[in-house]
Amino acid sequence: MSQKIKIILILLVMLLPLAVQAKKSVIVNEQGDTVKYLHPKFNGITIGADLFSPVSNIIGQKYGNYEMSIDAGFYNRFYPIYEFGISYANDTPDGANYTYKVSPSFYNRVGMNYNILYNKDIPGILYVGLRYGFSFAKYQLTDITTSSPYWEVTQTNLSIPQSKSVAHWGELMLGLQVKLYKGLMMGWSVRYKLLFADSSKGDAKQWIIPGYGKSNSPLGFGFTINYRFSANKKTNNYIK
């Protein structure tokens, strides 16, 4: 069994609770009363924007993803989500003799977040998530410099014609969203990414994949601002 298949199976096992029907938990308060926290079937819709890349660009990063998301909550436990954005790059890798450019390219991710603390009375959620991402891109290598010590000749400003690619990948993530004021929330996340395929058509390999990031880096981070449009408020039932 290949390593990629093993990792996928581990991810599926870790997120097996996503396939289990939501149940209402029962806890006991300080007075010894049994308290059942009931959450509505539909919790509302959350719209968010990732600020990690814009902030990184301000401090000098020359590539990034400009991303938004929308999710729907069920039982304060299951949050199917759709993430989408535009990616670009215009950077020179460390030690490289070329500039790597990605034309503004669209990418998508679909998946699910599972709130680990779904039955706790806290102003936020702590979740694990699973994503499937795919993107289409046009990229190019420019400002290539080559030299021949034997002939003592240096050539500059060379380029490789624009290439096209289709990539898709999976992600396992851990994240936290904290309520700031009413429906306004702030979130942080870390992602472990596994590239399934990168079907590049051209003479150069992809260095930065829209929505994925650097092709040689499996980790990603997020910092988001979200607003939740709640459908109903949680109600408490006391069972004596």
Domain borders along the chain are: 3-17+27-239
pLDDT means per 10 residues, the chain with 240 residues, are 51 46 46 58 93 89 92 94 94 76 92 90 89 91 64 57 87 94 93 89 77 90 93 47
Beta partners for residue 140, in sequence order: 101
Q: Which amino acid is at 202?
A: G
Sign of CA dihedral 64, 222, 172, 68: negative
Percent helix, percent strand, percent coil in the chain, to nearest 5: 10, 65, 25
- Strand pairing of 99-115 and 184-201? unpaired
CA–CA distance, 77 with 92 (Å, rounded to integer): 43
Q: Which two tokens stand for residue 5?
A: 């298949």
Nearest CA to 189 out of 163, 213, 171 is that of 171
Q: What single-letter DSSP state applies at residue 142?
A: E
Give the phi and the psi of residue 94 in degrees, each rounded to 5: -60, 125
Sign of CA dihedral 131, 230, 75, 234: positive
pTM for this model (two decimals): 0.77
- Where helices occur in 19-142 by DSSP H, the ranges are 52-58
pLDDT of residue 197: 87
CATH number of 3-17+27-239: 2.40.160
Dihedral over alpha carbons 81, 210, 195, 130 (to 10 degrees)? -10
Quote the distance between the C-alpha of residue 152 and its chain's center. Answer: 48
pLDDT of residue 94: 76
pLDDT of residue 36: 58
Q: Which two tokens stand for residue 93?
A: 């890798």
Greatest C-alpha distance within the chain: 92
Do residues 71 and 45 make contact, with C-beta atoms less than 8 angstroms apart?
yes
pLDDT of residue 21: 39
